[in-house]
Structure 1
Amino acid sequence: MLRNWAADMEENMVQRQLRRLSFVACLTALSFIAAPQAFAANSEGCEGGGFRIAGLINGASTQSVGRTTLAANRFGSTIQIVGRYVEFTIVTSTFAVENYVFTGAANNLDMTGGVRTVVWSERRPDHRGATLSGGISVDIRDEDIVIEREGSAVSMKIQAKDCAQGGIFQMEPEREDNTATRITHVLAPGVFYFDNPNFRAREGDTVPYKDTTVVVPDRINIASNTARRFIARDSAQVAERVDSPTCPNQIRTRSGAFETVLHCGQVSIWDVASGGRMGFVTGEDAHEVAPPATDCTRRCQAQNRVRGRSVKLGWPFPVPAAVRLQPPTP
């Protein structure tokens, strides 16, 4: 069942304010209703999906349905999140994510050709010396997982769906000082960022979107050297991408002129507002033309997270060398 992440976010932040005022050191209970349109996946792509947590100190795993809080001493330095379609590792002290994998499990919406594929080597938040020290709150329901941990200066929440494609991952930092958190994404070998030429060819065109229209922007996507159907993109809310001056790329625009894109081939860096969200979308969601999400950290409504009927522009495979962003790292 899809859930209302926006309502969840509002409730969670209000609860945190109440805890600070009353000095109650407990984890917030989460509630889930119907999902907003931005963090969603096609139900066909989620068939049979569901997570379990592995890597507990005693070698056990848990797949309990519903909400629970696990003591931090039940884990070592990492937490293993294991699903049918995706797997990833969470660093216990920071909630960095490592080795995000599409397993290649059979599904009509599989993007990997049935091949186990590591897409992200890491998604690393810089907490500037702050650490997470509380218990680990986990909620597993259907194909969804929400996992949270707090510290004295920062808290982190990760939401994920065990699906073959769609909007299936979000990371949410919240700092006591309300400043931004820098998050660095590092792609795995064989996976790369590129400036999508299908979007450049239509840049500036007005295309239909639901009952209105939207102007085609440029688009940086993520593709694979080997998986023809794999397509993804970073998806941010209340976050700004940080330019990488050591990775200048000259990209030809629709007019024939060149535009300098300061983005590395395997690394992207983002400053995410406290309460903002940094995630990714895959499959059709990654090459649709739709309005960007509006800035929202509290009282978010469904229209703040945009997804729906729209024009899909696709991408070339193999991706031409001229639009693959270089060098790989800063």
Structure 2
Amino acid sequence: MIIRKPRSLALATAALIAGGAALTLVPAGAAQAKASPKGDFAVTVNGTTYNPAEGKDVKLKDLAVAGPIAVRGKHVGFDVNPSTLGVYNYTLTGAADPERMVTEPTVVFASKVPVLTPAQIGTVKIDRLEVKDDDATIILSAAGGKMKFQAKDFAQGGIFQQEPEFGSNVEIVHTLGPKLFYFVNEFTGKINFGDGKDPVTTAQSSTGYHEMLLGKDSPQVATKLYQDGSVTRWSVTSGGRLGGVLGEDAIELSQGATNCTSKCQAQNQIHGSLPVPPLPTDPTPIPVPAN
């Protein structure tokens, strides 16, 4: 996980890059959520809402589930549908925060859905669910395997990942929200997603800063199968993952995650800071590939 750097250092680094200064890269992996004000996750299962007191947690195991699981936080919210093992309406709330990127609720991903057969899904139950202030873990057990979801209730950073364990590759389809699009970053040459809006960072109001909405898919042991301006299809190895990274972590000049499917956090750790290039200026959607 990436150890966060102060924003002042990130801005100074961006200035160095713009000026052509040389910078040394260090190995990188999955990003960590920023140290924003504490989140407040609540998870609703079978009509019951679990919202632990500050500093406490709630744990559930081996629970039959009927209907979508609603995850709602201060900064993010989404639903998990046991009938598809997919995530729907992953949303930034726009709550006041020094690191926020939107000022109103904004759907970042309309869906993150695995392509599985009815036989692979079968009867689904909650294998394990754990809720803390700013952290939620949900593991669903299906007929053919398991799907793990991990989320952080922060305004940006590495705040979501989805991990299939089905003994073979699982295709997962990412569909962006209606206001967002994938584009090629002019400074990094890599694919980001965003809404194309200029940031408002020069003045701080009583409700906090508004930064440019930027993100990227963060795969580990996964192969991209398709890409256009709103959809990406990934083939994910069992034990691999698809992460979601928002904010400056989405554009910093890292080398990406290692090819690892078990106990990967420690070897993906960074003990310093990474260069952050300037913000993209006029992003345009990736076109639909010609047939």
Displacement after TM superposition at 1:56 (Å): 2.9
Residue in 2 that maps onto 1:42: 34
Distance in 1 (alpha carbons) for counterparts of 2:243 and 2:280: 24
Q: Report deviation, 1:300.
A: 2.5
2:83 matched to 1:97? no
Q: 1:153-205, CA deviations, whole angstroms, 9 ceiling, x for partnerless residues? A: 11010000000000000000001xx2100000000111000001112xxxxxx
2:174 to 185, 193, 211: 185
Give the letter aligned to residue 88 of structure 2. Answer: E
| Residue 187 to residue 220, structure 1, CA distance change in 2 (3 Å) | same
CA spacing shift, 1:152–1:50, aligned 2, 3 Å: same
Q: Alpha carbon RMSD of aligned pairs, Å?
A: 2.5
Equivalent of residue 215 in structure 2, options 228, 232, 244: 232
1:206 — aligned with what? none
TM-score normalised by the chain length of structure 2: 0.78
Matches within 5 A, 1:1-330: 38-43=30-35, 45=36, 47-54=37-44, 56-57=46-47, 60-64=48-52, 65-69=57-61, 71-73=63-65, 75-76=66-67, 78-112=68-102, 114-129=103-118, 130-131=120-121, 132-175=123-166, 178-199=167-188, 218-226=189-197, 228=199, 229-243=212-226, 263-304=227-268, 308-319=272-283, 321=284, 324-327=285-288
| Secondary structure in structure 1 of the residue aligned to 2:60 | strand
* Rg (Cα) greater in structure: 1
- Cα distance in 2, alignment partners of residues 273 and 305 from structure 1: 22
> CA, structure 1 residues 272+329, in 2 after alignment: closer, same or farther (shift >3 Å)?
farther
The residue type equivalent to 1:224 in the other structure is D
Unmatched 5+ stretches in structure 2: 3-27, 200-211
Distance change >3 Å, CA 138–CA 222, structure 1 → 2: same
Q: Check whether the contact 1:293–1:305 (CA below 8 A) recurs between aligned residues.
A: no
- Residues 101-140 of structure 1, C-alpha deviations (whole Å, 9 max, x = no match): 000000000011x211111100001123311523352111
Q: Distance in 1 between matches of 2:252 and 2:31?
A: 15
**Secondary structure, in 3 states, of the residue corresponding to 2:249?**
helix
Partner residue of 2:9?
none
Q: Structure 1 CA distance, aligned partners of 2:111 and 2:245?
A: 16
- In structure 1, give the amino acid aligned to 2:286: L
Report % sequence identity.
Answer: 34
SS at 1:232 equivalent: strand
Q: Aligned-pair distance for 1:306?
A: 5.9
Q: Do 1:166 and 1:282's aligned partners in 2 also have CA atoms closer than 8 Å?
A: yes
Corresponding residue for 1:207? none
Distance 1:239 1:307, change over 3 A: farther
Question: Partners of 1:329 and 1:312 in 2: how far apart?
Answer: 33
Provide closer, same or farther for how the CA distance between residues 68 and 55 of structure 1 changes in structure 2, counting only shifts above 3 A. Answer: closer
Distance 1:90 1:266, change over 3 A: same
Cα distance in 2 for partners of 1:172, 1:301 equals 14
Does the 8 Å contact 1:37/1:307 carry over to 2? no
User: In structure 2, what is the Cα distance between the partners aligned to 1:124 and 1:239?
Assistant: 15
Once residues 239 and 70 of structure 1 are traced to their aligned partners in structure 2, the CA distance between those partners, rounded to angstroms, is 29
